[in-house]
Amino acid sequence: MPFDAAFATFPTLTTPRLTLRAIQPTDAEAFFAIKSDSAVTIPYGQEPHQSLEQTRAWMAQIDASYAARDALFWCVTRTGGDDTAIGSVTLWRLDPDNQCGELGYELHPAHWRQGVMAEAIPTILTYGFRELGLHRIEAMSSAQNTPSSSLLRKLGFTPEGTLRQRIFFRGAFQDELSFSMLADEWHG
């Protein structure tokens, strides 16, 4: 089964400018800088982290998801840099029986509008379709998160519809947009 290799040894992936590797305990402060920034978390309906301990607990959940074979969480770093985490890309809600999974991503604002996710995500899509044998990769975006929806469209994801008032955040309901890509649609 293609999933076995991914969960035996975590797959490190590279692009011309990026290294996508497993999260490490030493990444806690870098991820706290990301997860505590409201510009990052509010667009996907989560409150910012309030403490480094909260980020470490979230990292423990990442490790547990990998151990349960439910998610692959890549830490995004700049190749040739100081190996500091600047963001993440995740394939989660992995369903080997139905050959599908969901894409998630986040990036520190200091690295926005530099093409980082437009470079990282195609590498993950190629890995998901070719190495994991996925047939379908889904992605969700808050209807209010225009940059995320635009990125998904640019990468070739197909909009599937609006989940009306799907997210309850800060006392109000928000719509969520559903996207997908099929293996035979990916030409990465």
For the segment(s) 2-137, the CATH number from 3.30.360.10, 3.40.630.30, 3.40.50.2300, 3.40.50.300 is 3.40.630.30
More confident site: 92 or 5:
92
- Strand order of the β-sheet with 172-182 is 13-14, 18-22, 72-78, 87-95, 100-107, 136-142, 172-182, 158-169
The dihedral built from the CA positions of residue 110, 113, 116 and 117, taken in this order, carries a sign that is positive
Give the model's pLDDT for residue 107.
96
Residues 107-135 have pLDDT tens digits of 999 999 999 999 999 999 999 999 999 99
Give the model's pLDDT for residue 1.
56
| Residues of the chain above pLDDT 70, percent | 99
Residues 58 and 49 sit within 8 Å (Cβ to Cβ):
yes
Query: Closest by alpha carbon to 102, among 30, 152, 58, 57?
Result: 152
Residues 72-81 have pLDDT tens digits of 999 999 998 7
Please state the pTM of the whole predicted model.
0.93
Residues 2-22 have pLDDT tens digits of 788 889 999 999 999 999 999
State the average pLDDT for the chain: 94
> Pairing state of beta strands 87-95 and 158-169?
unpaired
More confident site: 144 or 100:
100
State how far the Cα of 127 lies from the Cα of 66, in Å rounded to an integer. Answer: 16
State how far the Cα of 29 lies from the Cα of 187, in Å rounded to an integer. Answer: 36
Mean pLDDT for the stretch of residues 19-34: 97
Write down the H helix ranges in the chain: 2-8, 28-35, 38-41, 52-67, 116-126, 146-154
Q: In degrees, to the nearest 5, what angle opens at C-alpha 120 toward C-alphas 118 and 126?
A: 105
- Please list the residues that pair with 22 across neighbouring strands: 74
Residues 90 and 114 sit within 8 Å (Cβ to Cβ):
no
- Please list the residues that pair with 13 across neighbouring strands: 20
Q: Is 82 helix (H, G, I), strand (E, B) or coil?
A: coil
